[in-house]
């Protein structure tokens, strides 16, 4: 049963997934109390659970942000005077409930945004292009998006390789000062840009050589269809979000 549901959800139309993500992120941006945000986060995590996405590693990655959050916590406490004072040093407020709540809001929001982005990642990038085509976006543009997505990992890999080559020629990244690090990054950039231009050029030539854009329409081997589950989910998420938003505005 669980597996079957997961398969159904993963095969959801990409447009339905976009709707879910838009709803979640709208709520995340709109709410500004930790309690409500926590509820949205729990819903996000439940959805991730249904999609069978392993989200534990995401949460684990966020530990790197903790120092930033602590700084935020103290700054918010010291300068926005609202809430009760928990810790004070003379006249300076070190920790206030207002500070705690805004820092936790930031954390929760980020978790929700990243978590819902992981829902998007359960569809193949190709499907999003098909979704764009269905939305009557010209296929030249849809194709450009597809190619950008397709080549992104290649370029990331290329940048990593260049960084390795630079280190092998005697630059110790752990030891160079910050100013010099920026210089190193300019070294990574120039081959990258030149490669991107070169690849784009070659690709354009080989695509035209194979008849791309000869005719205004193109045959797609896979056609997206919005089925009943997609409609159900779209309507459900939109209406819940709208109801929740109106309720909280009225109150």
- Which spans of this chain sit near other proteins (rule: CB under 8 A)? 158, 161-162, 164-175, 187-188, 190-191, 194-195, 198
Indicate the residue among 187 and 212 with the shorter CB distance to other proteins: 187
Give least dist CB 157 to other proteins, A. 10
Indicate the residue among 91 and 172 with the shorter CB distance to other proteins: 172
Contact by Cβ (8 Å): 140, 217: no
Give least dist CB 189 to other proteins, A. 9
44 burial (CB, 10 Å; 0-12 / 13-18 / 19+) is buried
Give least dist CB 223 to other proteins, A. 31
Give least dist CB 180 to other proteins, A. 10
Indicate the residue among 34 and 191 with the shorter CB distance to other proteins: 191
Give least dist CB 178 to other proteins, A. 17
Indicate the residue among 8 and 160 with the shorter CB distance to other proteins: 160
Indicate the residue among 64 and 169 with the shorter CB distance to other proteins: 169
Indicate the residue among 33 and 190 with the shorter CB distance to other proteins: 190
Give least dist CB 140 to other proteins, A. 28
């Amino acid at each position: 049963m669980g597996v079957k549901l997961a398969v159904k959800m993963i095969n959801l139309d990409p447009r339905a997934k976009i709707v879910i993500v838009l709803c979640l992120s709208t709520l995340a941006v709109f709410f500004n109390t930790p309690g409500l945000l926590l509820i949205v986060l729990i819903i996000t995590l439940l959805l991730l659970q249904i999609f069978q996405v392993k989200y534990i590693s995401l949460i684990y990655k966020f530990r790197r942000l903790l120092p930033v959050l602590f700084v935020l916590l103290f700054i918010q406490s010291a300068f926005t005077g609202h809430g009760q004072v928990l810790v004070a040093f003379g006249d300076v407020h070190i920790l206030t409930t207002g500070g705690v709540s805004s820092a936790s809001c930031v954390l929760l929001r980020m978790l929700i945004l990243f978590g819902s982005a992981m829902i998007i990642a359960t569809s193949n990038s190709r499907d999003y292009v098909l979704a764009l085509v269905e939305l009557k976006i010209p296929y030249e543009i849809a194709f450009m998006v597809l190619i950008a997505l397709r080549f992104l990992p290649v370029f990331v890999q290329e940048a990593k390789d260049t960084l390795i080559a630079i280190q092998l020629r005697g630059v110790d990244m752990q030891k160079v000062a910050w100013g010099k690090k920026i210089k190193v990054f300019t070294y990574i950039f120039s081959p990258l840009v030149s490669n991107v231009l070169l690849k784009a050029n070659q690709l354009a030539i080989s695509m035209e050589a194979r008849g791309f854009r000869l005719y205004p329409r193109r045959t797609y081997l896979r056609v997206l269809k919005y089925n009943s589950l997609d409609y159900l989910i779209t309507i459900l998420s939109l209406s819940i979000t709208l109801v929740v938003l109106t309720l909280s505005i009225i109150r």
